[in-house]
């Protein structure tokens, strides 16, 4: 029978092994709620490695919450371009304005949860890390650690109530209450560095003697998951239209919905059936000698997209949208999928790619 997992043992391990991350306060320093919140929003659905350069650029441009709140949304979207899940950037901006107006982040998970872009997980994480409020945030890393520690073999998502109960049990340990911020971050670090998805390094784990999954020899198979249905496919075409002065036609996507508020090359709707060349060109922004460069692939959470990319050069563009000098495209709020299309139209694209 494994021992009861000790938060004191976890914290002792953390004190000697904590990761140094740009948003993390040093040992014994007070956390900055602005950095904690910004990093937690960026880390939703996104890896630490992908977030680090974006976090640095945001802090350089918006060193304070007030600076972010005062910025136009377009600038925030442009700086976010490439990080994906763009509703996060719109909510980030709306949240910054509300919090700046209120004079700071509330030290209360309920009030945090009422803010744009902050769900139950993020409220618990900010509450614990920035304000030391008791609570164990259950992200994918922590779910994996707890599923193994308590040998929870029910597949996800049905395992969530058992995982929440396990988190409540651990969070009630007096050491977890006394050092709530470190406890949350210790669990993140244990999941990221020791209790990794495919090959947990149990001999180096402070909880090896307490781990029911390790004792049963099933740790690496946990957490179990129900098989996901195949991702549906969609098809479309995008048009790179450039005029004699080197300006490219762009459009702004509707504020709500997928890639809301971001810039794009004009294109067809994205539908389940492939487009023939004639069908696609019937949707081109204007008649021209369109050249087909090939296809770009991109994977969103709920579907996989294949886009044909066409280009044409005309003396004068007469179509809906706005014109952007091609040299200024880097500053546009173009999401990754559109950057792939631009690169292909300019002759230097990868033909396939993933969201991140």
Sole binder of ligand SF4 in the list 149, 241, 259, 305 (CB under 6 A)? 149
Active site residue 40: yes
Q: Coil, strand, or helix at residue 294?
A: strand
Token digits of residue 221: 């198979």
Toward ligand SF4, which CB reaches closer, 11 or 262? Answer: 11
Under rule CB under 6 A, residue 145 binds ligand SF4 = yes
Under rule CB under 6 A, residue 13 binds ligand SF4 = no
Under rule CB under 6 A, residue 187 binds ligand SF4 = no
Toward ligand SF4, which CB reaches closer, 194 or 281? Answer: 194
Nearby residues of 334 by Cβ (< 8 Å), 6 or more positions away: 81, 262, 263, 264, 342
Q: Which stretch binds ligand SF4 (CB under 6 A): 48-56, 92-100, 150-158, 204-212?
A: 204-212
State the residue for tokens 């794009």: 264
CB 204 → ligand SF4: shortest distance, Å?
8
CA-to-CA distance for 203 and 206, rounded, in angstroms? 8
Toward ligand SF4, which CB reaches closer, 93 or 214? Answer: 214
Under rule CB under 6 A, residue 18 binds ligand SF4 = no
Q: Which of 4, 29, 40, 318 is catalytic?
A: 40
- Give the C-alpha distances (Å, rounded to integers) separating 106 from 116, 144, 179, 263: 13, 30, 19, 34
Nearby residues of 217 by Cβ (< 8 Å), 6 or more positions away: none
Token digits of residue 107: 């030290």
| Residue count, binding to ligand SF4 (CB under 6 A) | 14
Toward ligand SF4, which CB reaches closer, 95 or 145? Answer: 145
Q: Which stretch binds ligand SF4 (CB under 6 A): 92-100, 195-203, 259-267, 333-341?
A: 195-203
Sole binder of ligand SF4 in the list 195, 242, 309, 341 (CB under 6 A)? 195
Q: Which stretch binds ligand SF4 (CB under 6 A): 12-20, 156-164, 201-209, 259-267?
A: 201-209
Sole binder of ligand SF4 in the list 185, 208, 263, 268 (CB under 6 A)? 208
Q: Which stretch binds ligand SF4 (CB under 6 A): 23-31, 141-149, 227-235, 249-257?
A: 141-149
Residues 197, 145 contacting (CB under 8 angstroms): no
Question: Helices 87-102 and 33-43 sit at what angle, rounded to 10 degrees?
Answer: 160
Sole binder of ligand SF4 in the list 106, 117, 213, 236 (CB under 6 A)? 213
CA 15 to chain centre: 28
Residues 116, 89 contacting (CB under 8 angstroms): no
Residues 210, 162 contacting (CB under 8 angstroms): no
96 φ, ψ to 5°?
A: -60, -40
Closest CA to 171 of 153, 161, 157, 183: 183
Per-residue contact flags (x/-) with ligand SF4 for residues 247 to 286, judged by CB under 6 A: ----------------------------------------
Sole binder of ligand SF4 in the list 219, 249, 317, 344 (CB under 6 A)? 219
Under rule CB under 6 A, residue 202 binds ligand SF4 = yes
CA-to-CA distance for 127 and 121, rounded, in angstroms? 10
CB 355 → ligand SF4: shortest distance, Å?
28
Residues 333, 261 contacting (CB under 8 angstroms): yes
Burial of 193-203, coded b for 16+ CB within 10 Å and e otherwise, reads ebbeeeebebe
* Interface ranges with ligand SF4 (CB under 6 A): 145, 148-149, 194-195, 200, 202, 205, 207-208, 211, 213-214, 219
Residues belonging to the active site: 40
């Amino acid at each position: 029978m494994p021992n009861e997992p000790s938060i004191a043992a976890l914290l002792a391990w953390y004190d000697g092994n904590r990761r140094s991350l740009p948003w993390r306060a040093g040992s014994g320093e007070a956390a900055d709620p602005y950095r904690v919140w910004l990093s937690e929003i960026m880390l939703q659905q996104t890896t630490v490695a992908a977030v680090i350069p974006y976090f640095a650029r945001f802090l350089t441009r918006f060193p304070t919450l007030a600076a972010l709140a005062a910025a136009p949304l377009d600038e925030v979207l442009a700086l976010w371009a490439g990080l994906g899940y763009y509703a996060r950037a719109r909510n980030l901006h709306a949240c910054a304005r509300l919090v700046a107006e209120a004079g700071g982040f509330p030290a209360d998970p309920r009030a945090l949860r009422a803010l744009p872009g902050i769900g139950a997980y993020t409220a618990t994480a900010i509450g614990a890390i920035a304000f030391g409020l008791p609570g164990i945030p259950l992200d994918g890393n922590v779910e994996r650690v707890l599923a193994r520690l308590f040998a929870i073999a029910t597949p996800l998502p049905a395992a969530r109530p058992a995982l929440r109960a396990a988190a409540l049990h651990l969070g009630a340990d007096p050491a977890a209450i006394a050092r709530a911020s470190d406890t949350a971050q210790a669990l993140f670090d244990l999941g990221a560095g020791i209790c990794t998805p495919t090959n947990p390094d149990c001999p180096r784990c402070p909880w090896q003697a307490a781990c029911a999954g390790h004792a049963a020899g099933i740790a690496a198979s946990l957490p179990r998951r129900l098989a996901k249905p195949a991702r549906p496919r969609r098809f479309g075409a995008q048009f790179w239209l450039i005029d004699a002065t080197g300006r490219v036609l762009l459009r702004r996507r509707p504020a709500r919905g997928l890639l809301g508020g971001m810039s794009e090359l004009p294109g067809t709707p994205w539908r389940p059936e492939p487009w023939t060349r004639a069908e696609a060109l019937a949707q081109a922004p204007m008649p021209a000698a369109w050249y087909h460069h090939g296809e770009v692939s991109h994977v969103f959470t709920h579907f996989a997209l294949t886009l044909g990319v066409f280009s044409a050069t005309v003396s004068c563009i007469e179509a809906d949208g706005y014109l952007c000098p091609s040299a200024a495209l880097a500053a546009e709020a173009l999401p990754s999928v559109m950057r792939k299309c631009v690169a292909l139209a300019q002759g230097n694209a990868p033909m396939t790619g993933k969201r991140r």
